[in-house]
Amino acid sequence: MITKRHFKWMLAIALTLAGLTFSATAQAAEVGSLNQYTAETPLIISHRGSPLQFPEHSFAGYNDAIQNGSKFIEQDVILAKDNHLVVSHDNNLKKNTGHNISVTNSTYSEIRKAPLSNGETIHTLGSIFNRYQQSTNYVVETKKTAKGGYLLE
């Protein structure tokens, strides 16, 4: 469960990234000045796509979020055993695929055999970038490995 403190921390990072993304990528989804966003017209950042209607981190979920006004799509990234950057919130894929697979202890070829509930494979960060390119902005959150290390950084 996300605590209020955790949410404020994530929002602060997302807004910081929003400023960096806007200044660095003129062709990405138009963000504009952060001052233009208010409670009535918020800046929409989709967390894991649209996870209430579609599997987390699925193309279907990201597509829905973007179609509904999201300017940013968020990816949780875990380093697989063969150094692929796997997009998954949890190291264990049981919740999203029904298969008891640890990302950090598996190769991507093993991981992709466990589809999401809509039939999509678990995606890599590269496949997300290839699909959406500069049509949106990205919020990438790195996750620690099963052993507690932060090898991605």
pLDDT, one tens digit per residue, over 74-108 is: 999 999 999 999 999 999 999 999 999 999 999 99
Share of the chain above pLDDT 70, in %: 75
Residue 68 has pLDDT above 80, yes or no: yes
For residue 105, what are the CA distances in angstroms to 35, 79, 86, 123? 44, 9, 12, 17
123 given a catalytic annotation: no
> The pTM is what?
0.75
Convert the pLDDT of each residue in 119-144 to its tens digit.
999 999 999 999 999 999 999 998 87
Q: Does residue 113 surpass a pLDDT of 50? A: yes
> Does residue 6 carry a catalytic annotation?
no
**Annotated active-site residue in 57, 84, 89, 123:** 89
**Catalytic residue among 6, 47, 99, 123, which?**
47
- For residue 28, pLDDT over 90 is answered with no
Section 48-57 average pLDDT: 90
Whether residue 20 has pLDDT greater than 80: no
